[in-house]
Chains A and B, each alone.
Chain A
Amino acid sequence: MKFILSILIFFNFSIAKVYAEETRQVDKHEHGVGELNIATEGDVIEFEFMIPGADIVGFEYVAKSDADIASIRKDLQTFESYENIFTLPTNSRCQLTEKQVALKEDEDEDEDDHDDHAEENHNEFYAKYSFECGDTKAINKVEFPYFSTFPNSGELEVQFISSIGSVSFEVEAEEPSINIDGKI
């Protein structure tokens, strides 16, 4: 086992990120890779999505034209109903108790005073859903209509934690579901 691990270290150096400056740091932002965090405890299960704007609306500049604004509004509206994004098994009897949908723009606050740095802008769709469930253990599978709802979407990197432990998944459009049977 140690031998395999030593080889891995070699692979690993290539992906290690080391920042020279301590206080200057930029969040990672990769088009085509959305993040999803799932946490569950007791009767509660929470889903937190962070998706690059490019994966949803196809652009990340600050929406100025009516068409762009409408497109963002429409997609934010789509996030309002979680069923457009993911579905839970009905026998888990989960009820949505709280949700938060927002567009997080990585932009200067007073944008009017600046020129449009269109290519430098990034934005992110953020959505968080909390559920209270009759039986969280019945959640054996989560399906993601997300991929068909947003044809531009790439993969979803999922971090999942329950009292049993944590695990990760990579979900892609070809197989838009995760199997968490026995992990809650």
Chain B
Amino acid sequence: MLLKLTFASLYARLLTVSMTVFAISLSLMLYLSVEKLRTSAYTSFTDTISQTDLILGSRTSSIQLLLYSVFRVGNATNNITWESYEEIMNKDEVEWSVPISLGDSHKGFRVMGTNLDFFKRYKYRGGQLIEISEGNYFDDLYDVVIGAAVAEKLKYNIGKSIIVSHGIKSFTDHDDQPFKVSGILEKTGTPIDNTVIVSLEAIEAIHVDWSSGAKIPGQETPIEEIRNMDLSAKNITAAFIGVKSKLTIFKLQRWINEYPEEALTSILPGVALHELWRIIGIVENLLLGISIVVIFTTLIGMAAIIFSSLNERRREMAIWRAMGASPNIVIGILMLEAFIISFLSTLISSILLYILLNILQPWIDDTYGILINIELLSLKDLLIFILFIISAMLVSLIPAIRAYWFSINDGMTIKI
């Protein structure tokens, strides 16, 4: 009976009520989408590297090593000599390792030298391998495999001839030794998409006529001669390592970190990612703070709307009272109203969120490399909804008490 009455009353004010519901739904949707973005960004981050036990680099902080080796952000302070790398590679604990060499670029995209093991060993998103979508992995010295985003943004196809630039932002090109695109990788949603991958030997080859970071003037070794040279890498920037048993990982890590011949660092990627996220956590907390303020504003907004409608509804309440409703029933009706409005809002906000996510997901993935998984609301979201509904009912107590007061005092004829 009470429910029917409340619905009828809400229906009678359909326009104002639906506007209120819509406003609250939008705010809730804002909260949900911020929350979704927050968790998706974290997952995208942690999904970038998977099943690599240690990352080896020169002595540096763990976050910096992680950033330049995995996210291609920033630069290494030093390289590692091949001798040290080989010694570590031959340790009993090591099952596999993949060396990488960074430092050159192509049109703003980082060039990474590695060997074919990279494609077999580097995993992302819960153990997924990097697949090739077109062409083949590098076979020739001057073959290059490019990430999906490189191919898309520069509109490169298989067979395209490209020039690698020396350094990250420099005007000197290795134009005497052009490369040919041999393969394009599948999109991964990781920094691999923005990477140009060549062999370690190719990195050595393009630096044959270079000394101390500059090209030796007048010296140009013919390509045929370079092909016959010993191009095995003399140093690398970092290496990904897999261990035979997780139980030996800390022993190996300590051994590397205390390696006397060269100042090295080895990190557990998950540990460094966590440290990194602790710093980013500041931004995360800020976003969360904004979301909470949004919800709070919404609640106050709802109370204000119920409040402002009270005056025009004094007659309605007086009729309820005349029909025999006690003042407590009046409070009940208003709280029930708040419940219905907030409940409808949570439903609509969820629907709006899914529509929005479906529209924006490809764009966010392309632009920011953050893959948003469209899935059912989490338990936490549901809990927030329940809390929101309870708070909405509590907030509605303020206008409800006022209505109670009116209903005691007002007669059928209202004198304002």
Return chain B residues, CB-CB under 8 Å to A5: 67, 71, 73-74
Cβ of B247 under 8 Å from chain A: yes
**Contact among B261, B269, B274 for A23, CB-based, below 8 A:** B261
Say yes or no: A19 contacts B263, CB within 8 Å.
Answer: yes
Say yes or no: B73 contacts A161, CB within 8 Å.
Answer: no
The CB with the most chain B CB atoms within 10 A, among A46, A160, A168, is that of: A168
Which B residue's beta carbon lies closest to that of A11? B279
State the Cβ distance, A130 to closest chain B Cβ, in Å.
Answer: 8
Say yes or no: B283 contacts A4, CB within 8 Å.
Answer: yes
Kindly state the separation between the CA atoms of A46 and B249 in the bound complex, as whole angstroms.
11
Which B residue's beta carbon lies closest to that of A23? B260
Say yes or no: A168 contacts B275, CB within 8 Å.
Answer: yes
Give the number of residue pairs across the A-B interface with Cβ within 8 Å: 103
Which B residue's beta carbon lies closest to that of A9? B74
Q: Type the 1/0 row for A142-164, where 1 means its CB is closer than 8 Å to any CB of B.
A: 00000000000000000111110
Which B residue's beta carbon lies closest to that of A15? B61
Cβ of B188 under 8 Å from chain A: no
Cβ of B256 under 8 Å from chain A: no
Kindly state the separation between the CA atoms of A4 and B369 in the bound complex, as whole angstroms.
13
Cβ of B341 under 8 Å from chain A: no
The CB with the most chain A CB atoms within 10 A, among B51, B53, B63, is that of: B63
Which A residue's beta carbon lies closest to that of B369? A1
Cβ of B391 under 8 Å from chain A: no
Say yes or no: B247 contacts A41, CB within 8 Å.
Answer: yes
Say yes or no: A165 contacts B245, CB within 8 Å.
Answer: no
Kindly state the separation between the CA atoms of A166 and B267 in the bound complex, as whole angstroms.
10
Kindly state the separation between the CA atoms of A19 and B258 in the bound complex, as whole angstroms.
12
Say yes or no: A25 contacts B263, CB within 8 Å.
Answer: yes
The CB with the most chain B CB atoms within 10 A, among A6, A41, A165, is that of: A165
Q: Type the 1/0 row for B251-286, where 1 means its CB is closer than 8 Å to any CB of A.
A: 000000010111100001111101110011001000
Additional A-B contact list (7), CB under 8 Å, known A5-B73, A22-B262, A165-B51: A1-B368, A6-B73, A18-B263, A22-B263, A25-B260, A165-B46, A168-B274
A-B contact pairs, 30 of them (CB 8 A): A1-B368, A2-B369, A6-B74, A8-B63, A8-B73, A8-B279, A9-B67, A9-B74, A11-B279, A13-B64, A16-B64, A17-B60, A18-B59, A18-B263, A22-B261, A23-B260, A25-B260, A39-B249, A159-B271, A160-B271, A161-B249, A161-B268, A162-B246, A165-B46, A166-B53, A166-B268, A166-B270, A167-B274, A168-B268, A168-B274
